[in-house]
Chain A
């Protein structure tokens, strides 16, 4: 053991020495450089066999080479290259050349000639390929230089006739990456490489090796990416490649055809074996569709994906993709979709419960049946039925994109999308539901389709159900039966999965507001009112009843005749719901009777302007009245804060803004209050115990500033300055308070220095914003900076105190959009009286389900905190996969938290809450502020019980009753 320790010590000791070595001046480093290449030289000379040389080179390759010595090393390598007889060593040298020329800061033009020369006498194909690869590296580093590129392309063209596929491959790659893109330059006409690169590459489309063919197509695509306009002539060549034997060639060819179809959508191409002509994009579309039934799934995925982006295709071709003529025993048969449609239009509903319902009807002409269509026929039908789910997903995505651009297609593809709701793979189901939602503007669901859609509501996967709710939010339903069906199914869903409550209510809200006229005839039935008899009043707490009411009230918003159908208790329930679920129940213009019970709702008219005006006015007032007497300012601030908070509660759109400013004003108020304290005038020793207010204020301001900086999304740098400024003021206050309360000067030195450093870094970070901060604390402070640096701590404190008092307070400009990050824990509900029992020492999984709003990057910042009754706190980082993103700005956290504890005698409650972690280095504005300041300033304060370094609690804590039992023996 001792020996081991000794060794450790020794190791550490040597380590230190080494570091010192590196830290030495750069002169020393330069001295070692020639020795590096020299060492390599010596090594290579020493090498007796090729294997040895290879070994040396391998070792050499592991170490990085400095920029300055690259050239020397390259020379030595080249020298050996010429001498070397063994191909493998030459290969390694060639690859090293490539590696070396990649070195940042090294310009490889000096070694280019040598590299090209080495090509001359090389016999080995592998080495040749490697050398060309090296040239490619060199070329990509020197793309700015056209003559270099020209030369390299020339070299590549020369080697295109090589018999090895590897060499040809590299040549094509080189041409693709470096071939001249801009045309019309006269110089090119003179040189050899002016031969059309496209032609050269095109010649290799028929190469005997599939790898070379692929490389040729890839090179062509590379040229396209670099901005060369490909010639249309390539199209016919590319079409032939679609029938290639090798999948990688076909896959690349599909891409090439797609590129060409985007370049020349409107040109006309002839249809072989007939005199007709069609648009190129249509032809290409047909060809790519054909590839959807290719033998290789890689090609199928590729083709299906590309179909989605071909929006110029004519609708006639587009609709063919969903077409599949059915037949049975040579007689035309209708598809199930057609039958369903017919049943629906004939007014019958699912009558066909007998064999032969789908019996084929008309005879078809055998000649007219085309079993392998040349066109796009049925491409999506095949794609959606594919064996591999990758292909199916790609097909669904493509459908989505095409349907978004073509309403008529959207209508047609509906049946197929609905079918996909029953796919065996959940991912595909989810994708198709999302797709349907995206195109829902263009479509109206038929009843039978709705039926199929609603059947999926019973899915046990929460994601599927919620996606479906989202879908229903924006679906158009055509009949009142449809609405009724949807409601019934949603209520069924509600009873089966009560946790979906919120989502279902929200869904019904939109369903109601979208279809007021369809809901109207259903109202008596839904409310179970009777023309003559009074019906019993339903239970107000029943989620199903609330769901029905949400639907009706939202429909009533744009249907003024509806409230007439309500019974008395409905109005009462309206008032209650309007208050308790204000986000779901809209304000209604109810006839002027019995509205006394709901005074709030009608009084708020949904006008945005006045409230916004109000916000600005109250802020103006605060900012303008700077020179009021201190008492007045305080009162005004207090009132304004109260107003803003109330405004935030009432107007959800302005909540973020109002809260933000209220917090800022609160900080200001605290600062003013702290400075107003009489105790500043009293001699230091006397108010030792009375400084509580000031230091508490400082602490709170600090906390609030962190909240302001990290809890709101949409904060711009203008606001960040002000926030930091406020923080600086709080720190100054802290410094003053400490200076007053501590005896002795020594601790103050450090604090003063740190504070000055902070001021300095503030200045550095926000130098551009400083002109806007006339008369502020920092402005004055910076004026006094030279004095501050030289003076003693006690003086510094004095200066600070006066500046702090004299400084005006800054106008906080408001950004366009400001949202406060909020979190709401849905599960656990905290209502359960049954403790969660588990054996101590083992773990129990607690399901946590929470919605997050306006949280940026929740994966990185949101944590779950569990507080045990003994004060033990545990922080859990949820997996990135636990966050779902149902809509913009909204996230959902569904995770499991593992709890464990030693045995308790009786059940007790633990607290679960969400924390928003922040890192002051994260935001770019505060990048320079060292992290230690925050943690240290916290250390100087009593540690708050629930606060954790760098985190803000942003959800209400939920209590969970648990009971770890002692393990049974």
Chain B
């Protein structure tokens, strides 16, 4: 039985380090190649030795697919391709290919330059790695080799995020990566057609959450910012450079535009400027509004948002500043925070989750006095707000995607085991499909029932359809033909053609059967009785009484002779060809039951 095997090397019942191995119809595909934020040792990268101990990876993997540019989905790529060694194709979408190296470089800098690690990949490795990347367009079917093809679908989440369909013959797998089923200010919602894959591998970050409407959150956010600015206060929004930051920028920019506000908005420079450039470039990947209006004005060419300079933090008057990093643990955002924390007119808005131990987490949990480096005590008087702007699908969204794609099996990754359990149960209950949630290193095997395409000759098809009634989708139809399996292909042709092709002579195969009937009458009378009986039973067939005393039913011949020993017993000789097997056997069984007495 054909099967699909899935082994998560990362992201199995876990968030981070996404890396999933799929073998489908003899092809091996690696989905994502991420790093884990929580570890600084070997565990941060997936264990590639699982794939092969001593061979080259290239021999074992047919291709690698990267769903989007977040580091937990692409962070291990240079390590994998340059240090472990992989020379095969790597597929990602155009925006991902553009932005991914920026993030990798940033990641490298922080690890090597700041933390002083050695034995890490170099800038050159990132460049070499990116040379192996093949960029794909949305809905473009890419032939990896003769059998394996992949296709990207829009996934929302971040710019360039895609879901991938991997297809070999009739078997297919869809990998969602991270996706978002509700549109936001700069991206649309994920969409997939009814592709009915054998397996859907879905993320499940928010498996147990049903989220409120986005509008309320947006409105709250805007209202808070607006009120603070009107009061003359300063607003600090710590963000990570890519993704949510752009959404919030668009949100504030349009709001400023709409409300005619004058207070300046700043964005701390660096990474972002480069990234914004790509956002401007890949307009087709954004949502309806931005796509429609970019002819007049590209929304990412911000009118109100300017680059931030360190000196601006001391300027009087209201302002809004976006600063990195998002958890207030270091860098510019922390500096600004320290400057502004003392004034109760100011406000800090945390737009995302904060890891324990960071300043962000402390202030969110209500701490008002912070101990900074050098035993300084910083009193936080400014207002602290939390706004969740996450771009993952919630439980409903996941269900909606499953409904759209109609998979035969579902496999959950990228989430916590406990939450997955709930969703798994729901999926099985509502869609009646089996659902899996393997842990890292655990292999799930899914048996598929692929349909095998067979070429049928047109002549045969026409002949056969001509016999039957109107084709009906609901009912299977019986056909007669010869299946030729040759050169890895299947063809259904008429028997004559098959004989001709294979150079074989036709052999007639005839079944003959004798049926004994107790009938004292003369032979021809018996024949007549049999004839009448058959005619009565087989209304749809042509039953003929031939002058030579035999009966034909279609092409089946029936002859009656008196038994040589017992004149009261008549022997009916029934003979049919192999093709008429069905009717012939039916006829014999009919005759064996004997003739009805009523006619006697």
List A residues at the B interface (Cβ < 8 Å).
161, 163, 206, 208, 245, 293, 295, 324-330, 333, 335-337, 353-357, 366, 369, 371-372, 381, 384-389, 416, 419-420, 422-425, 452, 455, 458-461, 496
Contacts and interface: CB of A to CB of B under 8 A. Distances in A.
A381 B215 CA distance: 11
Contacts of A452: 219, 223
Contact of B470 (A161, A354, A381, A422): A161
29 contacts: A208-B473, A295-B191, A324-B212, A326-B210, A326-B212, A327-B210, A330-B422, A335-B216, A353-B383, A354-B384, A355-B384, A355-B386, A369-B426, A372-B400, A372-B403, A384-B213, A385-B214, A389-B288, A389-B289, A416-B213, A419-B213, A422-B215, A424-B254, A455-B226, A458-B258, A458-B259, A460-B259, A460-B260, A496-B260
Interface string B378-392: 000001111000000
Interface of B: 182-183, 185, 188-189, 191-194, 208-220, 222-223, 226, 254, 257-260, 287-289, 350, 364-366, 383-386, 395-396, 399-400, 403-404, 419, 422, 425-426, 430, 465, 470-474
Nearest to B156: A387
Contacts of A388: 288
B208 A336 contact: no
Contacts of B386: 354-357
A504 B533 CA distance: 99
B399 A371 contact: yes
B364 A355 contact: yes
Nearest to A209: B473
A789 B218 CA distance: 82
Contacts of B419: 329-330
Nearest to A377: B396
A330 B254 contact: no
Contacts of B400: 293, 372
B215 to A, nearest CB: 4
Contacts of B183: 385-387
A328 B208 contact: yes
A387 B386 CA distance: 25
A458 B218 contact: no
Q: Which of B219, B396, B404, B465 has the most CB of A within 10 A?
A: B396
A343 B259 CA distance: 27
A206 B474 contact: yes
B260 A458 contact: yes
Given A389-B289, A420-B215, A355 B208 contact: no
Nearest to A457: B259
A460 B259 CA distance: 5
A372 B430 contact: yes
A336 B211 contact: no
B430 A385 contact: no
Given A326-B210, A366-B425, A371 B430 contact: yes
A458 B223 CA distance: 12
A355 B365 contact: yes
A816 B121 CA distance: 88
Contacts of A163: 465
Contacts of B404: 295
Contact of B471 (A208, A354, A355): A208
Contact of B182 (A161, A245, A385): A385
A304 to B, nearest CB: 16
B429 to A, nearest CB: 9
- Identify the 3 closest CB pairs spanning chains A and B, nearest first: A336-B216, A355-B386, A387-B183
A423 B254 CA distance: 11
Contacts, number: 122
B213 A381 contact: yes
Most chain B CB atoms below 10 A, which of A328, A356, A496: A328
Nearest to A162: B470
B415 to A, nearest CB: 12
Nearest to B395: A371
Contacts of B473: 206, 208
Given A372-B399, A459-B258, A460-B257, A355 B209 contact: no
Given A369-B426, A371-B395, A424-B185, A329 B208 contact: yes
Contacts of B214: 385
Q: Is the interface of A mostly helix, strand, loop or mixed?
A: loop
A452 B215 CA distance: 12
Nearest to A338: B212
A387 B364 contact: no
A325 B208 CA distance: 12
Given A416-B213, A460-B257, 20 more contacts: A163-B465, A206-B474, A208-B471, A295-B191, A324-B213, A328-B209, A329-B209, A330-B208, A336-B216, A353-B383, A355-B350, A355-B365, A371-B210, A384-B213, A384-B215, A387-B288, A389-B289, A419-B213, A424-B289, A425-B289
A33 B157 CA distance: 70
B357 to A, nearest CB: 16
Contacts of A369: 426
A324 B212 CA distance: 8
A420 B218 CA distance: 11
A319 B399 CA distance: 22
Interface centre among B210, B365, B470 (most CB of A within 10 A): B210
B366 A355 contact: yes
Nearest to B422: A366
Nearest to A206: B473
Contact of A422 (B192, B222, B403): B222
Contacts of A458: 258-260
Contacts of A459: 258-259
A455 B223 contact: yes
Contacts of B289: 389, 424-425
B341 to A, nearest CB: 16
A142 B223 CA distance: 66
Contacts of B185: 424
Contacts of B208: 327-330
Nearest to B259: A458
A387 B430 contact: no
Contacts of A330: 208, 419, 422
Contact of A295 (B194, B215, B259, B383): B194
Given A328-B208, A369-B426, A337 B216 contact: yes
A260 to B, nearest CB: 23
A331 to B, nearest CB: 8
Nearest to A420: B215
Contacts of B472: 206
A371 B257 contact: no
B385 A353 contact: yes
Contacts of B403: 372
A371 B212 contact: no
Contacts of A328: 208-210
Given A161-B470, A326-B210, A419 B215 contact: yes
B336 to A, nearest CB: 20
Nearest to B386: A355
Contact of A387 (B188, B258, B383, B384): B188
Nearest to A426: B258
A384 B182 CA distance: 11
B397 to A, nearest CB: 10
Nearest to A428: B289
Nearest to B398: A371
A494 to B, nearest CB: 14
Contacts of B218: 422
Nearest to A330: B208
Contacts of B399: 371-372
A371 B207 CA distance: 11
Most buried by B among A325, A329, A372, A419: A372
Nearest to A160: B470
Contacts of B212: 324, 326, 333, 335-336
B221 to A, nearest CB: 10
Nearest to A328: B209
A321 B218 CA distance: 22
A354 B365 CA distance: 8
A595 B422 CA distance: 78
A420 B422 CA distance: 33
